[in-house]
């Protein structure tokens, strides 16, 4: 029997843009998924992760495809294993639940079968697993879950490789998350954005140009610990995502609640059209933002940036 855990993630800048090769900034978070692998007479999966209601059922087929892809790419096709998933990361849209489970499963399989894979190879296997959920994922989720920390991420569209750099902020970043309670379909939303972009290339060129400037400035403001500027840039990033059609009423309400209660910036995070809102807060405002969100009937949590990546549990 082998066990491994991997963290969830939050994208602070650049979801959707990252699919087109633009840079994104994302962080591993403290909550983790634990995967346990046992050799068994036949294949089975027991998913004990806490969830946004309906998430696991909706993702079941994608999850099965994802696991089969990982077994195949790791040379374990046809192996009979029992996989048990747990941990404190809530299986929900926007928090990197699939990336965390892929990284944890890949690391636990590597351990159980003595494959001797290094971290980069585990990341590659987790990326293969992500394809079961996302079609053509950028790779940002599995990189956050595998490497951990606070990442500047870019997908090199020519080579298909992830270009990852660890970032350091001079000021600690505190984050509040609000959960719409809605599960989004990444493949569908990414496909919708692609179709809209093909239909109106001029509009999307402007949006993408604006985002490129935001990403450049955010990289500097985040590393300098300029929280006020970072918050403003998050708001601007959200407006672009809204213009691209990936927000929804619940996300708008959460962004509005966070802003009115003192957040420095707030935006949707991840796929959008459901999933999560992420707000940048300072010490005092964090609990005010979180309780306003809870009062409005949504689940909310505070978290810090930069958790450790995938690790085997012995």
Catalytic residues: 141
81 CB neighbour count, 10 Å cutoff: 21
Binding of residue 59 to ligand PMV (CB under 6 A): no
- Shortest distance (Å) from residue 174 CB to ligand PMV: 20
In whole angstroms, the minimum distance from the beta carbon of 9 to ligand PMV comes to 7
Residue among 273, 259, 256 nearest 15 (CA): 273
Q: Which of 86, 275, 286, 309 binds ligand PMV (CB under 6 A)?
A: 275
How far are the Cα atoms of 80, 210, 244, 274, 275 from residue 201, in angstroms, in the given order?
A: 48, 14, 12, 25, 27
Closest CB to ligand PMV among 37 and 151?
Answer: 151
- Give yes or no for residue 238 binding ligand PMV (CB under 6 A): no
Burial string for 28-64 (b: 16+ CB within 10 Å, else e) reads bbbbbbbbbbeeeeeeeeebebebbeebbebbeebbe
In the block, residue with structure tokens 């909550």: 31
Token couple for 171: 């000021």
In whole angstroms, give the CA distance from residue 192 to residue 16. 11
- Near ligand PMV by CB under 6 A: residue from 231, 270, 286, 309: 270
* 20: nearest Cα among 252, 272, 201: 201
Candidate list 2, 4, 6, 19; residue touching ligand PMV; CB under 6 A:
19
**Binding status of residue 145 toward ligand PMV by CB under 6 A:** no
Structure tokens that stand for 35 in this block: 């995967």
Binds ligand PMV (CB under 6 A): choice among 23, 86, 129, 137: 137
15 binds ligand PMV (CB under 6 A): yes
Nearer to ligand PMV, 93 or 179 (CB): 93
Of 2, 18, 280, 293, the residue at the interface with ligand PMV (CB under 6 A) is 18
308 close to 28: Cβ distance less than 8 angstroms: yes
Pick 81 or 149: Cβ nearer ligand PMV: 149
Q: What ranges in 175-226 are assigned the alpha helix state H?
A: 186-199, 201-224
Regarding 186 and contact with ligand PMV (CB under 6 A), the answer is: yes
d(CA 189, CA 133): 12
Tell whether residue 162 is a contact of ligand PMV (CB under 6 A). no
Q: How far is the CB of 7 from ligand PMV (least distance, A)?
A: 13
Q: Which parts of 82-101 interact with ligand PMV (CB under 6 A)?
A: 93-94, 96
How do 150-155 and 81-87 pair as beta strands?
unpaired
Chain residues in the site for ligand PMV (CB under 6 A): 15-16, 18-19, 93-94, 96, 134, 137-138, 140-141, 186, 190, 270-271, 275
């Amino acid at each position: 029997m082998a066990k491994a855990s991997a963290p969830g993630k939050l994208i602070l800048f650049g979801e959707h843009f990252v699919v087109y090769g633009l840079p994104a900034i994302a962080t591993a978070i403290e909550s983790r998924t634990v995967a346990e692998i046992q050799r068994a007479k036949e294949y089975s999966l027991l998913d004990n992760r806490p969830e946004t209601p309906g998430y696991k059922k909706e993702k079941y087929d994608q999850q099965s495809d994802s696991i089969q892809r990982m077994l195949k790419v790791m040379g374990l096709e046809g192996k009979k294993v029992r996989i048990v998933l747990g941990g404190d990361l809530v299986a929900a849209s926007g928090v990197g639940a699939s990336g965390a489970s892929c990284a944890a499963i890949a690391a636990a399989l590597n351990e159980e079968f003595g494959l001797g894979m290094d971290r980069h190879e585990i990341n590659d296997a987790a990326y293969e697993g992500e394809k079961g959920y996302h079609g053509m994922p950028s790779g940002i989720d599995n990189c956050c879950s595998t490497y951990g920390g606070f990442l500047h991420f870019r997908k090199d569209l020519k080579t298909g490789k992830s270009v990852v750099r660890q970032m350091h902020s001079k000021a600690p970043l505190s984050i509040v998350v609000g959960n719409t309670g809605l599960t989004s379909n990444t493949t569908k939303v990414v496909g919708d954005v692609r179709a809209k972009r093909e239909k109106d290339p001029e509009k999307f060129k402007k949006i993408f140009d604006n985002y490129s400037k935001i990403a450049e400035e955010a990289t500097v403001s985040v590393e300098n610990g300029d929280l006020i500027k970072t918050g403003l840039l998050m708001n601007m990033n959200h407006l672009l995502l809204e213009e691209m059609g990936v927000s929804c009423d619940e996300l708008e309400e959460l962004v509005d609640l966070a802003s009115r209660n003192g957040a420095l910036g707030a935006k949707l995070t991840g796929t959008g059209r459901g999933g999560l809102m992420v707000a940048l807060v300072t010490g005092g405002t964090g609990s005010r933002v979180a309780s306003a969100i809870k009062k409005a009937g949504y689940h909310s949590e505070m978290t810090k940036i930069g958790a450790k990546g995938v690790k085997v549990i012995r």
